[in-house]
């Protein structure tokens, strides 16, 4: 069990984490016809928007209540109502996802009460649009908590609480923030290959996959449909991926009675085998031939990559669930976690990280711990530290703004695990080529 070392610095020197509101907005983007609305200052939204646009290289429908000093002092209910009505009139969204920021949370405003008052007073004007609130202050948590809170809020606000007829072929999948567009598409394809009908929430593969719509859309133009969310109680089983998705899975179970199974990671042979066994049990079908072939390809990749990965020292900095996902996989391949840095110390996933200690900190902490590492694993903001140390960088997570196509990289199931092995081994070979003439 890893020992979690708390943050002791009063400021982040080279920030590692992204904020809760960004994580919540990210999750809302996975719902069809949605617009995330950040309730706070314009600067909070501009920063989140810049990161999302640079990561996906797409237009992102993100809006703000643009709170100024006077509005913060007297209260933001009027600004919030005005923003909601403007969005409804101009863009006609199916869902407005409100993400609170420090500007209103620090004042301890009753935003939930304000939203309920607006929905009751403006029921006629807001007909056909769901308004969902996620309380996500910047000064607490990180992208992982924001994503989880948004998904929980969507389920609690939209899913029908009554127990419904259970479709034996229908399942709910709640992916974590760290799954890419390609990962979610691959999840769906795998479930369908077993004859299952998956409802994925949130489904960023439909909204942020890089496709160009025939006409300009002011909202998201893909993702989980509201009807699918309302009918989640008709699913036979819920699959949650990542410890931070336990909370929305529990909310769904509490509302509808749908049981859930949690996977902390879908990377690595043992983890994927367990997932495939669950799909086979739910569908009562044998594992499809293409899935079995993917498993054999992964086994071959493990044999090919082991000599490159065994004994290597890895320094990782990421959100808790992604930190566990990658460190668990690297150690299974014979590598050693020389340094582990994360954004928040509250996740139970940190206890499972195969390292002596996990430091809650920033990228300057990673830099001080990674001097002897063979590889640094973090997002694009870690490139300066890697350059100064002369250690190669493997880019993972969010944001990745100095590489194209990061959303289309596979990291899970048999094919994704195979690709991670190849990426890892190729980076090491490029930067530390083996001696072709050993003595």
- Residue-level pLDDT at 433: 61
Residue positions counted in the chain: 439
pLDDT band of 109, cuts 50, 70, 90: confident
Give the range among 4-18, 180-194, 331-345 with minimum mean pLDDT.
4-18
- Residue-level pLDDT at 298: 97
Q: In the CATH scheme, what architecture does the domain 167-290 have?
A: 3-Layer(aba) Sandwich (3.40)
Q: Kindly report the pTM of this predicted structure.
A: 0.94
Helix (H) or strand (E) holding 199: strand 197-200
CB proximity list for 332: less than 8 A, separation 6 or greater: 268, 269, 270
Asked if residue 366 lies in contact with residue 378, where contact means CB atoms within 8 angstroms, the answer is yes
Q: Per residue in 195-222, pLDDT tens?
A: 999 999 999 998 888 887 778 888 998 8
Decide if pLDDT at 425 tops 80. yes
CB proximity list for 269: less than 8 A, separation 6 or greater: 295, 298, 299, 302, 332, 414, 417
Please provide the average confidence, as pLDDT, over all residues in the chain.
93
Q: Per residue in 136-151, pLDDT tens?
A: 998 889 999 999 999 9
Angle at 239 between CA 238 and CA 243, to 5 degrees: 120
| Three-state secondary structure readout of 306-341 | HHHHCCCEEEEECCHHHHHHHHHHHHHCCCEEEEEE
Rounded alpha-carbon distances, angstroms, from residue 143 to 18, 43, 105: 5, 18, 17
Please list the residues that pair with 253 across neighbouring strands: none
Q: Which of 264, 290, 301 is nearest to 419 (CA)?
A: 301
Q: Per residue in 392-413, pLDDT tens?
A: 999 999 999 999 888 999 999 9
Asked if residue 258 lies in contact with residue 64, where contact means CB atoms within 8 angstroms, the answer is no
Decide if pLDDT at 309 tops 60. yes
Distance CA(16)–CA(382), nearest Å, equals 8
Asked if residue 376 lies in contact with residue 366, where contact means CB atoms within 8 angstroms, the answer is yes
User: Where does the chain hold its CATH 3.40.50.1980 domain(s)?
Assistant: 20-140, 167-290, 306-431
Cα(first)–Cα(last) distance of the chain, in Å? 40
Fold annotation for 20-140: Rossmann fold (3.40.50)
CB proximity list for 435: less than 8 A, separation 6 or greater: none
Q: Per residue in 221-244, pLDDT tens?
A: 889 999 999 999 999 999 999 999
Give the range among 94-98, 107-111, 153-157, 435-439 with minimum mean pLDDT.
435-439
DSSP annotation of 73 reads: H
Rounded alpha-carbon distances, angstroms, from residue 432 to 29, 322, 329, 429: 40, 26, 21, 5
CB proximity list for 34: less than 8 A, separation 6 or greater: 28, 61, 93, 94, 95, 96, 97, 219, 220, 223
Burial class (CB in 10 A: 0-12, 13-18, 19+), 281: exposed
CATH number, domain 306-431, options 3.40.50.1980, 3.40.1160.10, 1.20.1300.10, 3.40.710.10: 3.40.50.1980
Mean pLDDT calculated for residue range 150-179: 93
Decide if pLDDT at 356 tops 70. yes
Distance CA(237)–CA(282), nearest Å, equals 8
Q: Per residue in 244-298, pLDDT tens?
A: 999 999 999 999 999 999 999 999 999 999 999 999 999 999 999 999 999 999 9
Decide if pLDDT at 189 tops 80. yes
Q: At 206, phi and psi to the nearest 5?
A: -85, -20
Angle at 333 between CA 428 and CA 317, to 5 degrees: 65
Distance CA(92)–CA(47), nearest Å, equals 25
Share of the chain above pLDDT 90, in %: 79
Q: Which of 297, 316, 314, 298 is nearest to 428 (CA)?
A: 314
pLDDT band of 66, cuts 50, 70, 90: confident
3-class DSSP state of 425: helix
Quick count: other Cβ atoms within 10 Å of Cβ 387? Answer: 10
Decide if pLDDT at 374 tops 50. yes
Quick count: other Cβ atoms within 10 Å of Cβ 274? Answer: 14
Question: Six-digit token pair at 243?
Answer: 């410890």
State CA 43 to chain mean position distance. 23
Distance CA(146)–CA(128), nearest Å, equals 25
Pick the more confident residue, 139 or 421: 421
């Amino acid at each position: 069990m890893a020992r979690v070392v708390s943050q002791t610095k009063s400021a982040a020197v080279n920030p590692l984490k992204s904020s809760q509101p960004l994580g919540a907005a990210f999750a809302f983007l996975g719902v069809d016809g949605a617009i995330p609305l950040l309730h706070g200052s314009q600067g909070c939204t501009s920063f989140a928007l810049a990161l999302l646009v640079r990561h996906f290289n797409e237009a992102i429908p993100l809006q703000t209540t643009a709170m100024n000093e006077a509005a913060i002092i007297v209260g933001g209910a009027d600004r919030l109502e005005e923003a909601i009505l403007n969005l409804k009139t101009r863009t006609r969204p199916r869902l407005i996802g409100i993400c609170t920021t420090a500007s209103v949370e620090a004042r301890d405003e009753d935003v939930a009460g304000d939203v309920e008052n607006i929905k009751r007073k403006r029921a006629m004007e807001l007909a056909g649009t769901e308004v969902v609130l996620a309380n996500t202050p910047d000064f607490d948590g990180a992208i992982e908590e924001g994503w989880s809170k948004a998904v929980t809020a969507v389920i609690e606000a939209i899913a029908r609480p009554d127990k419904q007829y259970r479709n034996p072929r229908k399942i709910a999948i709640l992916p974590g923030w760290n799954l890419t567009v390609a990962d979610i598409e691959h999840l769906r394809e795998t479930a369908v290959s077993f004859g299952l009908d998956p409802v994925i929430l949130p489904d960023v593969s439909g909204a942020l996959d890089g496709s160009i719509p025939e006409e300009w859309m002011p909202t998201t133009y893909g993702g989980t449909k509201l009807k699918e969310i309302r009918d989640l109680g008709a699913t036979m089983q819920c699959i949650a991926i990542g410890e931070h998705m336990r909370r929305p899975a529990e909310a769904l179970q509490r509302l509808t009675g749908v049981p859930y199974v949690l996977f902390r990671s879908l990377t690595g042979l043992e983890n994927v085998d367990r997932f495939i066994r669950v799909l086979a049990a739910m569908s009562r079908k044998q594992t499809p031939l293409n899935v079995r072939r993917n498993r054999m390809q992964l086994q071959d990749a493990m044999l090919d990559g082991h000599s490159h990965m065994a004994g290597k020292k890895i320094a990782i900095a990421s959100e808790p669930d992604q930190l566990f996902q990658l460190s668990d996989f690297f150690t299974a391949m014979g590598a050693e976690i020389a340094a582990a840095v994360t954004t928040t110390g509250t996740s139970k996933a940190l206890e499972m990280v195969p390292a002596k200690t996990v430091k809650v900190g920033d990228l300057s902490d990673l830099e001080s711990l990674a001097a002897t590492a063979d590889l640094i694993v973090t997002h694009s903001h870690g490139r300066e530290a890697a350059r100064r140390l002369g250690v190669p960088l493997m880019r993972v997570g969010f944001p990745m703004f100095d590489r194209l196509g990061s959303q289309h990289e596979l990291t899970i199931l048999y094919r994704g695990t195979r690709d991670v092995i190849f990426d890892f081994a190729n980076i090491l070979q490029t930067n530390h080529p083996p001696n072709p003439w050993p003595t």
